[in-house]
Structure 1
């Protein structure tokens, strides 16, 4: 249950990457009503390392947060007892990042926080700790109790939703079936509405070059994607396509479409990331709570150097606040998104 009076949770991310740095840099500018799920030790070290005018207050629950100026509230949700090495894959950091996410999800499900903003994690580090999830989205779906979720990536020009997420291209082709198309189209519609668009224009990209060229380059568009679009239109969604993947984003950037449904990971993420990572935000659709994230990774190569740009996390925090406010009103009127 989303509660506007509850704070937002920010997870620390991988302690060996830039997560702690961008979190403290962001909160030094605008802490607002936020609670960090992570390690008080790591966050205190980040404040010292980057010479920020902040102090850490450790709390056991979001209800204990005071939101005092110059103070960040941290829930010790990890097993970290000493500072892990920076700039490298580390088992302790991988386990800690996972533990912080799971704790934040539990708080969101119980209404103690209004949503979650996640700092970057490292899949290899989690794997070294025996945690077999390909990314945030799958953890959120599993522990958040969502039957089906989708990634929505947004920047200043583009909004896109993925049919398939973290899987091989071969498996993505197999998994982009009719049900997956319908789910992504519906979630794209609801995601557009959550961003304040009353009737989002949803463009669905084709899977094959030239959207199959009438079956010449593949028949998935004819047999699977087009029937899903027609069914979505019959249900009242302004969906169109399938459009060629190499031109649909250009059309969206020009204002013809509000949301583009991409068939697989790189088809959707390359257009969003190409202009730069500073303003890109990842939003998870289909969860019973709001979740946003910066659109970049742990950046081990610059971790601990003080040069990480917090802009994408700042934007993710702004989107989370916007989505929480929209969700409250939408829930009261029509149900959940």
Structure 2
């Protein structure tokens, strides 16, 4: 569901208005059914909300949206576009519930809507975002945020930390870790171009130490070790040229050193602002958490509090996130089938 005061419930409902989604998966929304009924009423949508308490009760029929109902939002006090502990608690509960359902093998994959970190923290859950929540409750130590949109596939060495901390986290071991996560992510998404570009941290990738030493002391050794391990990598490549090449498909994937280094070029590619209408025409981009024992994809945009409840939010990113989750689930299923087959083959 995402944050109930955000565009999360709206884009979830709009995504499931697309019959093509039901052709590729059996979708279930997790959250407060009352919130979804309110959205349907506000937008005058011809769709029925079917409240369930167990996955086996779902109908999986176009025109009927199955909602695993947590019944935890007071609509009389909920206000669109406002931070609140109630909304934060509802958003957190929906995330925790899908994690539990996936770990129990009741779901093949999970897809998350946007949450507000301030609301989550006001509810007493001190996490920097979805990625950290998933890592905590799945007991995952090595993970990474992978962004996917058309030719750009970007993983990050660090994400939700200060820029000062981000520089300190540029270490050889972590760069190798996310390079490995990216490589396996590209394979699981069905990509054939496995060439990886690794960004420099400093301007001009440090320019031989003139503008910082991290590129020479941490990034370059990681690149050299990755090559020894058999990866097709280049780097450190100055970020101001790396992403222009990646956008053309030259690299199958890119390792960014910190949050904004990867997110800014990514969103320039996927987010289309209409100056005349003063709104987004399209918001594309999928966020995948790599390294988890369960599948998690997400929209790569925020809560958009300024347009919440107005009916103008684009479901493009949510549809792409669902499609990516299906692709990842199919790949994981094929891997397991191969493993089972090998178990029965004679030595």
Matching residue of 1:64: 57
Matching residue of 2:195: 201
Task: Give a deviation string over 1:200-222, Cα, whole Å, max 9, x none.
Answer: 11110011111111112112122
Structure 1 residue 332: deviation in Å?
3.9
Structure 1 residue 136: deviation in Å?
0.7
- Unaligned residue ranges in structure 2 (runs of 5+): 272-282, 341-347
Matching residue of 2:87: 93
Matching residue of 1:329: 334
1:19 touches 1:119 (CA, 8 Å); kept in 2? yes
1:193 touches 1:199 (CA, 8 Å); kept in 2? no
Structure 1 residue 199: deviation in Å?
5.8
The number of aligned residues is: 324
* 1:23 matches 2:7: no
Structure 1 residue 134: deviation in Å?
1.0
Distance 2:226 2:100 in 1: 33
1:279-294 to structure 2, matched below 5 A, reads 279-294=284-299
Distance 1:71 1:318 in 2: 20
Distance 1:81 1:58 in 2: 16
1:133-144 to structure 2, matched below 5 A, reads 133-144=127-138
Name the stretch that deviates more: 227-236 or 162-171: 227-236
2:193 touches 2:251 (CA, 8 Å); kept in 1? no
- Unaligned residue ranges in structure 1 (runs of 5+): 1-11
SS at match of 1:260: strand
1:282 touches 1:292 (CA, 8 Å); kept in 2? yes
Task: Give a deviation string over 1:255-295, Cα, whole Å, max 9, x none.
Answer: 32110100000000000001343221111111112111111
SS at match of 2:266: helix
Distance 2:246 2:62 in 1: 41
Moved over 6 A (4+): none
Please give the TM-score of this superposition, normalised by the length of structure 1.
0.92
Matching residue of 1:275: 269
Structure 1 residue 253: deviation in Å?
1.9
Task: Give a deviation string over 1:128-179, Cα, whole Å, max 9, x none.
Answer: 2122111111111111221121111111231110010100010011112122
Structure 1 residue 232: deviation in Å?
1.7
1:38 touches 1:96 (CA, 8 Å); kept in 2? yes
Matching residue of 2:115: 121
Structure 1 residue 241: deviation in Å?
0.8
Please give the TM-score of this superposition, normalised by the length of structure 2.
0.89
Structure 1 residue 69: deviation in Å?
2.9
Matching residue of 1:221: 215
Distance 2:170 2:99 in 1: 28
1:235-250 to structure 2, matched below 5 A, reads 235-250=229-244
